[in-house]
Amino acid sequence: MSLIGKSPARPDALDKVTGGKGYPVNVRLPGMLHGKLLRSPYPHARIRRIDTSAAAKLPGVKAVLTPADVPRRKFTPVYFVPADAGSMVQDMVIMSDTVRFAGQPVAAVAATSLRIAEEALALIEVEYEELPAIFDPEAAMQPGAPVLHAHAPNNVAVNPSMGFGDLERGFAEADHIFEGVYQSHRVHTCYMEPRVCVVDCDSQGRYTVHSSMQHLFGLRQKLAYALEIPESDVRVVKPPYIGGGFGGKLDLGYIEPVAALLSRRAGRPVRIEQMRYEDFISTARHPIKVYLKTGVKKDGTFTARYSRSILDTGAHATHGAEVINVHGAFGLLMTYRCPNAKWEGYTVYTNNMIGGGYRGYGSPQACFAAESQIDEICEKLGLDPIEFRRRNAWRQGEAHPVIPGLKLDSYGFEECLARGAERIGWKSRRKANSGSGTRRRGIGFACQPLWVSGCVGFPDIYEHSGAIVKLNPDGTADLATAAMDLGSGQITTLCQIAAEELGLPMEAVRMVQNADTTTVPFDAPSHASRVTYSAGGAVRAAATVARERLLKVAGIMLEASPEDLTVADGRVSVRGAPASRSLSVAEVAQRAESPFVQHGAQGPVPTTLEEKGTIIGLSSQAPKGNPSPAAVAFVEVEVDTETGQVDVLRAVYAHDLGRLIHPQGAEGQVEGGFQQGMGYALMENLQFDPDSGTCLTGDFLDYKIPTAMEMPRDIQSVFVETNEPTGPFGAKSLSEPCITVPAPAIANAIYNAIGVRIHELPITPEKILAALGKI
């Protein structure tokens, strides 16, 4: 293999360093109007009356929309499931006359300029009937609490549970039982490109959509469903790239259907770009309160694990209906071996903003709880936390604990533990709180022992991919797929996989720009750490088809059997024959598309019927499995006991990714994931006024994310290559655990430094000082 494991330059980088024209935020169409949403100041209210007459009369206003003007069909906006999926809750409409969170859109306008649109919004009169609001999910479950949706009288949207074994017996067999409560908070993905769309309704009532999103086909389907039109009447254009997503662009927003309806009314394209404060209330990682009860033997063997999770989903269920399951299954129930376990989840409506998708999808909240508690158990029982986890770990070759029918064919968890420990210098770690002075150092770690490379085994979730690989007469190949590049390098790895399979240099494979839902096969979203494994598998399969055709044509030209041919570095040659008996891929591709007599350097050459036909490969397939990566993060922190400030000094992140395709890109995932995980642990927090429910952290001055100053200077990636048999060139996934493990690792390191355990994120200086008894 010549390209796998190397780090060729990203094909999209040159464009991005010289201006970056390809973002959806740059899309401009002739005659385009600017849309703007009017948002409710109240968290819970009924709209009595809306008067838009003054706004409609303002010169330059071309369309106005109110809840009375939108289709009433209820849907789930989540891209990766069918809009009517039974596992989800269909509780959204495009614009409702009941307001359930502060900032919910209640009307919209489209005008010839943004300035006029803003003026028009100020002219819309809305009469609200305020309703009592509820912001605490546990209070919302109590009888007598305000009810948000008629279908959920106790405000519980979904209430899944899972378990196995005999919990009572498990606790009876335990030598020790530990109980704890762990609270996580609401954070934003902070993609840098705002959510933005341009929707154009043509004279036939068909829509062309440009949007900053993570899933072409999900957007097509959800938009069509919400608008109550056939799916084929929506064409979604694939942007060359978008400015980040991290799960925050994994659902139909308010903006796309509103822009579509405004465009239909105005007969012109409509663009809506969210302001940053609108983005902050559009999507968030859900706060989850986890009650954990764990039984262990003296030696640290689990005998019983029970957990209950209360997830605050805000005004609508959307992702909250699925996040709770991933959180329970992959975060709490199945991470380690335990014979008796049970988990119950509650996804609860409140008048808070709607939660969304965010890298890790429920696992960061679970990992914080479970990995904090394991360290508490070890501290109490005097056990080595690495040995504890190893004792309870799954082993390679075992049946997959979550997905029936799969095995842990490649599983390098223990190697991650061992190599990470070695790299951070675990042996030099001191006993908790054994330092002196006001600046105390500590080392800690946390694990995500089991994760996914897609969603095989989840009955309602799409999990297939497709690709088209087409050879050009100059020896290059076009690769078309619906898989979006959110920034994490999908264009690069997919081109690399195609080039490797076709025996072409990296530069010879190019991702098709502006493909759309009419020209490429269906693909599940860029989410769930799935693209390298699942879309990579589909790309490889399409490239294999093209390669077979290439060798067939070359075989005729070289008078050799295709089995005797190899292709490498852009040349097809006969195994064992002199180099002169070879052809460039370009020559073969030209022959395949040539007229019946081909005129070349050797003069006219007659060609055969079998040679005719563009060399092209197509795939559309579900992946073979859902192999589980594993991850461990070790960190060293320094805590200032006078100020409560925590500095993360260094981090070592070990991950079993099957096979490393692009080392530089993989390290980038780790380093960026650590930034998000560290921000989650220490500083990021979406905050709301307790009375009005309005967002208090609506810009980056109030919502703090780590800058280059706060980040540790030393972040090391340790990649464990277990070579997954079903993965493209052995690969499985990377992205999400990078963000899951830092928070509990930091919490455990803080304990090691100062002997103080914080059970509630984020771990702010105030909480540390309070725990030290200093304030």
Partner 1 sequence: MQKLITLQVNGERHELAVEPDESLLQVLRNRLELVGPKKGCDSGGCGCCSVHVDGRVAYSCMMYAVGAEGREITTIEGIGSPATGLHRLQQAFIDAGAVQCGYCTCGIIMAAKQLLDTVKQPSEDQIRLAIAGNLCRCTGYAKIVDAIKLAAAQT
**699 binds, options partner 1, ligand FES, none, Cβ within 5 to 8 A by partner type:** partner 1
CA dihedral (361, 83, 95, 141) positive or negative = negative
SS3 content of the chain, % helix, strand, coil (to 5): 30, 25, 45
Q: Is the separation of the CB atoms in 350 and 359 below 8 Å?
A: no
Cα–Cα distances (Å) from 716 to 286, 389, 424, 651, 742, in that order, read: 29, 22, 9, 6, 13
Smallest gap from residue 375 Cβ to partner 1 (A): 25
Q: Any idea how long the chain is?
A: 775
**In terms of CB distance, is 485 or 523 closer to partner 1?**
485
- Closest of 366, 367, 373, 372 to residue 293, by C-alpha: 373
Smallest gap from residue 612 Cβ to ligand FES (A): 45
Q: How many Å apart are CA 321 and CA 345, to the nearest integer?
A: 10
The binding site for partner 1 (CB under 8 A) comprises 7, 9-10, 12-21, 23, 25-26, 115, 189-194, 241-244, 246, 273, 275-276, 486-489, 664-665, 667-668, 670-676, 699-701, 705, 707-709, 711, 713, 715
**In terms of CB distance, is 13 or 577 closer to partner 1?**
13
Q: Which residues of 312-326 are buried (b: 16+ CB within 10 A; e: fewer)?
A: bbbbbbbbbbbbbbb
Smallest gap from residue 700 Cβ to partner 1 (A): 3
**10 binds, options partner 1, ligand FES, none, Cβ within 5 to 8 A by partner type:** partner 1
Q: Is the separation of the CB atoms in 637 and 429 below 8 Å?
A: no
**In terms of CB distance, is 377 or 715 closer to partner 1?**
715
Smallest gap from residue 484 Cβ to ligand FES (A): 14
Neighbours of 228 (CB within 10 A): 10
Q: Read off φ and ψ for residue 517, nearest 5 degrees.
A: -65, -10
- Closest of 661, 276, 237, 327 to residue 489, by C-alpha: 661
Smallest gap from residue 43 Cβ to ligand FES (A): 28
Q: How many Å apart are CA 556 and CA 578, to the nearest integer?
A: 18
Smallest gap from residue 672 Cβ to ligand FES (A): 8
Strand partners, 582: 573
Cα–Cα distances (Å) from 45 to 354, 567, 692, 753, in that order, read: 16, 67, 12, 48
Smallest gap from residue 493 Cβ to partner 1 (A): 13
**In terms of CB distance, is 487 or 521 closer to ligand FES?**
487
Smallest gap from residue 125 Cβ to partner 1 (A): 26
Q: Is the separation of the CB atoms in 733 and 493 below 8 Å?
A: no
**194 binds, options partner 1, ligand FES, none, Cβ within 5 to 8 A by partner type:** partner 1
Question: Both tokens of residue 400?
Answer: 């997959």
| DSSP character string of 743-772 | HHHHHHHHHHHHS----BSS--HHHHHHHT
**In terms of CB distance, is 365 or 669 closer to ligand FES?**
669
Q: Which residue is nearest to ligand FES (CB)?
A: 192
Q: Is 244 in the site for ligand FES (CB under 6 A)?
A: yes
**In terms of CB distance, is 307 or 669 closer to partner 1?**
669
**In terms of CB distance, is 353 or 739 closer to partner 1?**
739
**In terms of CB distance, is 212 or 351 closer to partner 1?**
212
Q: Is the separation of the CB atoms in 410 and 656 below 8 Å?
A: yes
**Orientation of helix 255-266 relative to helix 216-227, angle to 10°:** 60
Q: Is 275 in the site for ligand FES (CB under 6 A)?
A: no
Smallest gap from residue 190 Cβ to ligand FES (A): 9
**707 binds, options partner 1, ligand FES, none, Cβ within 5 to 8 A by partner type:** partner 1
Q: Is 399 in the site for ligand FES (CB under 6 A)?
A: no
Applying the rule CB under 6 A, the residues between 190 and 209 that interact with ligand FES are 192
Smallest gap from residue 212 Cβ to partner 1 (A): 10
**In terms of CB distance, is 640 or 667 closer to partner 1?**
667
**705 binds, options partner 1, ligand FES, none, Cβ within 5 to 8 A by partner type:** partner 1
Q: Is 487 in the site for ligand FES (CB under 6 A)?
A: yes
**In terms of CB distance, is 23 or 291 closer to partner 1?**
23
The residues that touch ligand FES, with contacts defined as CB under 6 A, are 192, 244, 487
